[in-house]
Amino acid sequence: MNEHKYLDEHYPLTTDQVNYYLENRHIKLKHVLDPEILKFYMNLISRSVEESNGNTIPIEERGTYGKAFIQVFNIWTKDEAIKRFIFSKRLAGIAAELMQVEGVRLYHDQALFKESGGGITPWHADQHYWPLSTDKTITAWIPLQAVPLDMGPLEFSSGSHKLFEGRELAIGDKSEKLMQKRLTLKDYPHVIESFDLGEVSFHSGWVFHRAGANLTDQTRKVMTIIYMDKEMRLKMPENGDQQNDRKTWCPGAKIGEVIDTPLNPVI
């Protein structure tokens, strides 16, 4: 298979799928990526994560965040083959259509490898960390292998992008405890499903989500790509996490202007 051509082929979305996303701000789509493509890139991404991971602390000695996953950012800047995957027009086209925008920029990518015995990923909303002026943001969560329930697939609180409570919380024990209670009281539907090989989920920056522990003897290998509207402007950071993201992922961008930097190309 010509993986380059395949990664740029259009993935057709139905009106019902787009409407589901707009209502719930998350969706899981079938047959987005071919199993052979995923196997090829799993090997490349796994090697890059192994080379980049500097965490030598035993998993049982880490805090909640450290137990949740090994995290490696912007792999596209280190490997030309992986860059072709991250710059897939097939994936970016889905992101743009779901958000109802004319095009998307890359915010950043990150590999999230949850080791065997890895703990939960606490409830959180990603956009707490992002100094971005609108909610036109979306993350593609791309399992590089099938993810059964006991491996810790992504879980969503449908429609919780409407909830302003908890947006000030960074990911951690506090966000897990408080948001579990708050989301239950608000009666937002809790969606947890296994992922077949080739399925990819997309979720917005303000929808609350989490993942369970990895109870299997294998590492849960996931690649994520975070997109934003190509017209996204940088806002004044509202917390220390956003200040850090401004320096790290939007270097040189100016407050109030479109985030057009070498790290944020239009895809």
Query: HEC string of 169-201?
Result: CCCCHHHHHHHHHHHHHHCCCEEECCECCCCEE
Q: Are 7 and 37 in contact (CB under 8 A)?
A: yes
* Residue 7 confidence (pLDDT): 96
* Residue 20 confidence (pLDDT): 98
pLDDT band at 5 (very low <50, low <70, confident <90, very high): confident
Residue 237 lies inside a defined structural domain of this protein? yes
Which strands form 190-192's sheet, in the order they lie side by side?
121-124, 209-211, 154-157, 190-192
* Residue 54 confidence (pLDDT): 66
Segment 95-124, tens digit of pLDDT: 999 999 999 999 999 999 999 999 999 999
| E strands present in the chain | 26-29, 70-73, 104-114, 121-124, 137-143, 154-157, 190-192, 200-204, 209-211, 220-229
Residue 45 lies inside a defined structural domain of this protein? yes
In whole angstroms, what is the distance from residue 146 CA to residue 221 CA? Answer: 9
In whole angstroms, what is the distance from residue 239 CA to residue 267 CA? Answer: 28
Q: Enter the tokens of residue 20.
A: 């589901």
Residue 236 lies inside a defined structural domain of this protein? yes
pLDDT band at 153 (very low <50, low <70, confident <90, very high): very high
Q: Are 83 and 72 in contact (CB under 8 A)?
A: no
Number of domains in the chain: 1
Containing domain of residue 89, as a range? 3-249
In whole angstroms, what is the distance from residue 77 CA to residue 211 CA? Answer: 27
* Residue 63 confidence (pLDDT): 66
Residue 266 lies inside a defined structural domain of this protein? no
Task: Report the candidate in 148, 162, 173, 141 with the shortest Cα–Cα distance to residue 208.
Answer: 162
Residue 111 lies inside a defined structural domain of this protein? yes
Residue 172 — left, alpha, or beta (φ > 0 → left; ψ -120 to 50 → alpha)?
left
Q: Are 250 and 263 in contact (CB under 8 A)?
A: yes
Residue 219 lies inside a defined structural domain of this protein? yes
Residue 255 lies inside a defined structural domain of this protein? no
State the CATH number of the domain containing residue 32: 2.60.120.620
How far, rounded to the nearest angstrom, does the alpha carbon of residue 198 sit from its chain's CA centroid?
16
Residue 259 lies inside a defined structural domain of this protein? no
pLDDT band at 185 (very low <50, low <70, confident <90, very high): confident
* Residue 53 confidence (pLDDT): 76
